[in-house]
Every structure is written in structure tokens, then in C-alpha cells.
Amino acid sequence: MITPELANSRFMKAARCEPTDTTPIWLMRQAGRYMPEYMAVRNKVTFLELCKTPELAAQVTLEAREILGVDAAILFADLLPILQLVGFDLTYEKGEGPQIHNPFREPADLKRIQRVQNIDDLGYVFDAIQLIRKQLPPDIPLLGFAGAPFTLASYAIEGGGSRNYLDTKRIMYSHPEVWDELMNTLVDSVSGYLNRQLEMGCQAVQIFDSWAGCLSPDDYRHFAFPYTKRLISSLPADTPVINFLTGNPALLPLQVAAGGTVQGLDWRVDMAEAWKSMGYHQAVQGNLDPASLFCEFDVLKEKAQDVLDKAAGRPGHIFNLGHGIMPGVNPQNAIDLVKFVHEAGAQIAETQI
């Protein structure tokens, strides 16, 4: 349910390209290893235990939002556990990250995957959403999220991180009908997952296509675009959907065509040029280089001001990083960044009145 306070929040108004009193800001991976409060929880449990314990997931979500003073909370969860319900053996190995022990490598592997049969098997995510929503300030939206079909398929095929996505592209090119079945299985499963997040108390969702940058425009058009478009089309029309794709500015026109209320831009995109090309009726999110948070604050402030200058005070800009906060960042820099964006954004808003 969207209350009047939530509907009139900075984030929701910006997503509708409506004027706000200042530039809204939240930060990808705002609950993460750079933050002592997060590590105090994380040191007691494994990453997967943290994700699957609603009370702890709610705690780190809420603490990060409050400490930073950002305009939205984002659910603490992970992209990949949904793959367990599709038929993949997923673990998180210390120092290596997520590992899939039965990757999808041959057409015969279609026999062992299935669309998610019972989305409530991810009930720990929905329980966390309800806990978070009860404790968030009434004017702060909660963002849900999921991996885009291409990114999830790549994890399922590669079995972990990859530089060249050789197995993924081999399946795509050599067995397009198998690729189509795998992708449609993921679309249907993720659609159910995101819709349930919204039912349980999220006000908006972000779709992460973190690995699609490895594709050429032609390959994205054929092997990713139709599935992302179908996923976004399956969500309620009045729900803000952030379509976030990284690593290849040449894909921006197709990213926009795939849909989304807000287009998430990584730091390799010139925001001024990108926004002009897609039209100012389209809201945008981004796109400070995450490495800027390692700089002295005077440098960080200059970088942040450059992003604000490129947005030029237009309604519809949600400030964010071009990707998530990295370990080792001084938390005070993140806090000061939020404060600076709010102060500078308020000055810009005053000039627009």
C-alpha cells in the first residue's frame, strides 16, 4: 500500500519526474562491509545466514538507512538464492563468493530446471520486508530488487564470476532454443518474486543487470532485451522500476527500450548526454564513480557536484553511485556525501522555483 507520505516522498516524486525540495539519494550496497555496524552483525553469522534471518536482514537494512540519512532503504538480500529454487546448488565460499556446483552447460540440463513452484520458499525475504516496513519512517520507501534474467542465467551457466562469459555465449550462440527456455524460466520465476516483494511492502524495485555489459548491442537485442522487457512488463504499471545495467554505454538505447520508470546509469555513462538522448520525461539514477568515496572529501565533493551539474536541476534525478559501495570506504565519506547532495540539491531546487 502506498500511503500519501510515501507517494509524496522525494524518491517517489523523482521517479515520477516531479520536482522535489532537494535531490533524493540512496546508495547501492549501502548496508555493506565498509560499515562497522554491518560487520558487527556479519561477524556472528555467515552471509547466507544473514540473508535468511529476517530479523538480522531487517536490522542491517534499517541501520544503514538511518546512519546515512538516505531517502530510501533497500532490502538486504542477495541476487542468487532464487536460483536454488530453479534447480541450482548454490553456496557462498569464503574468499570466492557465490559458487554454483551444478552449472548449466548442456541442452540436457534443461531437464533439471523448473520455474519456481512455491515463491514462499523465499519467505525469509518477505518476512524481512514486513519487519523493515513496520520500522521505517512513514515517508521513506523500501526498495526491493532482483537480478535481471541475463545476469542470473550467466551465474547459472558460468558457476561463478567470469571475465569472458565463454560458456554463457556458447549456449546463447549454439543453442538459442535452449537459451530461450532457460531465460523464460527465469523471467517467470523472478516476476513472481518481485511481485511478492511489492505485495509484502516494497514501494519500488531495482532490476540488476550487472553482467549484461559483456554483450554487443546485437547480442543484447537478441539474447537479453526480450526477457528484461517481459519481466518489467509483468510488474504493476504504477510501480517505480529501476532498470540498472552496467559496463557498456552502447547498450543504453536498448536499456531504455526494455522499460523501467528510472534508468540506472553506471559511472561510464555521461549523464548529461544520456539523459538528453533518452528524453527528459525519463527519470535517471546515478552515477558517481564508487571509487570517489576513497578520495579526500574535497575531491569527493567535486565529483558529486559534477554529477549534479550534469543533471542540471531537472526533475527526475535520483543521486546514486554507478555501482555499489566497496569495502574499505570510510563510512564518514558516505555520510558526508549524502549530506552534501541534500544541501547542494536544495540550493539547486531553490533556483528552479
Question: Are the CB atoms for 332 and 296 separated by under 8 Å?
Answer: no
Edge-to-edge strand list for the sheet holding 142-147: 73-74, 142-147, 204-209, 241-245, 262-264, 283-285, 317-318
Annotated catalytic residue within 16, 33, 221, 230: 33
Q: Is 196 a known active-site residue?
A: no
User: Residue 188 and residue 175: Cα distance in Å, rounded?
Assistant: 20
Identify whether 112 is a catalytic site residue. no
DSSP bridge partners of 204: 143
Angle, nearest 10°, between helix axes 54-68 and 331-352?
A: 60
How do beta strands 142-147 and 204-209 pair? parallel
Alpha carbon distances (Å) from 21 to 124, 193, 344, 347: 36, 33, 11, 9
Side chain identity, residue 88: F
Q: Which residues of 275-302 are buried (b: 16+ CB within 10 A; e: fewer)?
A: beebeeebbbbbbbbbebbeeeeeebbe
Query: What whole-number distance in Å separates Cα of residue 312 and Cα of residue 305?
Result: 10
Neighbours of 78 (CB within 10 A): 18
- For residue 72, give the amino acid letter: A
DSSP codes joined into one string, 2-33: --HHHHTSHHHHHHTT---SS--B--TT-SST
- Quick check: is 10 catalytic? no
| Annotated catalytic residue 163 | no
Name the catalytic one among 71, 78, 109, 266: 78
Residue of 10, 34, 38, 42 marked catalytic: 42
Compute the distance between CA of residue 116 and CA of residue 63 in angstroms, rounded to an integer: 32
- Bridge partner residues of 244 (DSSP): 208, 264
Catalytic residue among 29, 65, 133, 196: 29
Which among 38, 155, 220, 227 is annotated as catalytic? 155
> At a CB cut-off of 8 Å and minimum separation 6, what does 22 contact?
10, 341, 342, 343, 345, 346, 348, 349
What residues are paired with 245 via a beta bridge? 209
Is residue 42 part of the annotated active site? The answer reads yes
Q: Which residues carry out catalysis?
A: 29, 33, 42, 78, 155
